[in-house]
Amino acid sequence: MEKGGRKMYQLFIEKETSFAPDLEGEYNEIDDARAAAKKAKAEDPTIYYEIKETDGHVNNYGELIATVVERG
């Protein structure tokens, strides 16, 4: 990813048996992330998903700064 540039969307999936959400994939377009989330939800209606938007910037602790844009 280019520094300070393009947005990226991360899809996290959490199952009932999960301790924490797992990164399912990273996408350049939010529509692609939504399609993957809908597909996963259709396969297993008990999952919880979260789509986060980031541009690659990190905070003082080196953690990626991301904003939740959709949950389901």
Tens of pLDDT, residue by residue over 39-69, are 999 999 999 999 999 998 999 999 999 999 9
The three-state secondary structure class of 38 is: helix
Asked whether residue 34 is domain-assigned, the answer is yes
Mean pLDDT on 4-14: 88
The per-residue pLDDT for 18 is 79
The three-state secondary structure class of 33 is: helix
Asked whether residue 3 is domain-assigned, the answer is no
Asked whether residue 2 is domain-assigned, the answer is no
Asked whether residue 14 is domain-assigned, the answer is yes
Domain count across the chain:
1
Residues 52 and 14: beta-carbon distance below 8 Å = no
Q: Is the pLDDT of residue 35 over 60?
A: yes
Mean per-residue pLDDT of the chain:
91
Mean pLDDT on 6-24: 91
Domain range enclosing 20: 8-71
- Hey, CA dihedral for 41, 49, 12, 54, is it positive or negative? positive
Give pTM, 2 decimals.
Answer: 0.85
CA distances to 12, 25, 53 from 36, rounded to whole Å, are 10, 9, 15
Tokens of 3: 């520094």
